[in-house]
Homo-oligomer: A and B are copies of this chain.
Amino acid sequence: MSDPRVLTVRPSPEQYAWTFGGAQPLATVAPGTVLDLFTEDCFGGRVTSEKTLVSEVCQFPFLNPQTGPFHVEGAEPGDTLALHFVSIEPARDWAASTTVPLFGALTSTHTTASLQEPLPETVWIWQLDRAERSCHFTAREGELRLKLPMDPMHGTVGVAPANLEVRSALVPDAHGGNLDTPEMRAGVTCYLGVNVPGALFSLGDGHARQGEGETCGVAVECAMHTVVVVELLKGIATPWPRLESDTHLISTGSARPLEDAFRIAQLDLVQWLVRDYGFATMDAYQFLSQAVESPLANVCDTNYTAVAKVRKEWLPTPTTPAHGGLHEHLRRTAPRGPLG
């Protein structure tokens, strides 16, 4: 790996990307680069009060702005891009959430189509106490005031897709994208299979926190300051996005119906144990059936996303350290916390 250097990126409004694939690179970076990024919230920062409705201030498809894409020197199809999240910190002291008519899990949608009236479009503004690291909820009806722990994450991290496709930044799939999993927090390394020269990754959609499944379709959406280390694993394929934390191996699958997302993630984790930990396939299937944690990521997006994760302490010593021991290496060598 080359020596790290820091690239600071504060996109101007017209620099955001709205798709994976099909956008011009914002910059070219060498493996080892530390990126110090600003990401705008999924509404482009336009939803600032309970009275500013997405349907009035946002223009489809200009939702979910991406910081990027970045062209990674030397990345080629068949390689794996590794993104190590050093820090993800809310850039403002408030965040917005909303219901979106015909979007979300507890409503009919444009595909789970019905003749019923849509739910109302309602906005909630959450106050963020960054010192206390809490998110403050104010009910729209009645007097309830509640707080939840802050747990910042990126809903959207991905590379250009395969098969000549360009996908909206709202879509999660094998290229990553809008996975909306709370696992994408500081301290983890995200592995993405490279589909095109340069990988062309971008990220955005910061959430101060999010429930598993993102039931209403929208999290506690906020702009972020994010530090990420970019690495490249040559000649290692990663069919579906994987994450690694200090404690867990984490696979993801994105598909509909939701059981297919589950199947993809579970099979991927079986195959990870077989490739790197010396399991025979049926033994890995049995062992994971008893050991796996299966929290949902989103059940609202174009594809649903399921997570399968297993504690590393329960596994044997890897025959091949997972992805070359990169996560441990990065934890030792990467900066800790926000830069500057």
Contacts and interface: CB of A to CB of B under 8 A. Distances in A.
A299 B115 contact: no
Contacts of A11: none
Interface in A263-320: 263-264, 266-267, 270, 278-283, 285-296, 299, 304, 306, 308, 314-316
A295 B295 contact: yes
Given A146-B314, A148-B291, A166-B22, A286 B116 contact: no
Given A105-B262, A105-B263, A211-B288, A283 B113 contact: no
Contacts of A163: 60-61, 168, 170
A115 B144 CA distance: 21
A283 B141 contact: yes
A333 interface: no
A110 B263 CA distance: 9
A127 interface: no
Copy number in the complex reads 4
Nearest to A304: B259
A210 B290 contact: yes
Interface in A19-51: 19, 21-22
Contacts of A209: 290
Interface string A167-189: 11010000000000000000000
Interface of A: 18-19, 21-22, 60-61, 97, 99, 105-108, 110-120, 122, 124, 126, 135, 137, 139-142, 144, 146-148, 162-168, 170, 209-220, 253, 255-260, 262-264, 266-267, 270, 278-283, 285-296, 299, 304, 306, 308, 314-316
